[in-house]
Amino acid sequence: MSPLAKLLEAALFASARPVPTEELAVLDPDASPAALQAALDELREHYDTDGHGVELSDIGGGWQILTRPEYTETIERAQLALRPTRLTAASLETLAIIAYRQPIGRAEIEEIRGVNVAAVLRSLLERGLIEATGRGEGLGRPLLYGTTPQFLEQFALRHLDELPRADEFAVALRAEPRPV
């Protein structure tokens, strides 16, 4: 591999979080953006073609080395690492609403879900998937919530706009075409 690709590998191995391109650029101030991208491509290629247990991904606003999915179960069974627990249906629903409607306050989320979401919000905040991003207008200036970079990382997204657009969903719920 090229010296720059090796340096990037070393830096990415030393980080538990995705590292944004700008931060990687600091490693070698002489490298042009094109050279940096070429080295990242080289590293990715190397992992893919040379039979490695890890791969390079660009999610969560940065670059990150991750293990390949085929090893996950084995690693977990050997108790060397644990997958994070799954989110509950209630958490996922709340998170989906926040992801699509941010910034959004608690009352509005409850209006959409039809249930109290205080406990769910607390657990999403604790997991670092959402954060308070400001305060809304109106009575008591309610807190508004938005998703965090960690949300992107945990859902393997580069940007929020990689989510399918809401209007792409098949909203029409005519379950069965009914003869009228």
Q: Show contacts with its own copies in window 36-95 (CB under 8 A).
A: 50-54, 65-68, 71-72, 74-75, 77-82
With residue 145 as reference, give the H or E element that holds it: strand 143-147
- In angstroms, what is the minimal distance from the CB of 110 to its own copies? 11
56-95 burial by CB neighbour count: b if 16+ within 10 A, else e? bbbbbbbbbbeeeeeeeeeeeeeeeeeeeeebeeebebbb
- In angstroms, what is the minimal distance from the CB of 41 to other proteins? 15
Rounded to whole angstroms, the Cα distance separating 51 from 74 reads 18
- In angstroms, what is the minimal distance from the CB of 82 to its own copies? 6
Within residues 73-102, the interface with other proteins by CB under 8 A covers 73-90, 92-93, 95-97, 99-100
Nearer to other proteins, 49 or 79 (CB): 79
> How many alpha carbons lie under 13 Å from residue 38 in its C-beta half-sphere?
9
> How many alpha carbons lie under 13 Å from residue 134 in its C-beta half-sphere?
7
Q: Which residues bind its own copies (CB under 8 A)?
A: 1, 5-11, 13-16, 19, 23, 26-29, 50-54, 65-68, 71-72, 74-75, 77-82, 116, 118-119, 122, 125-126, 128, 131
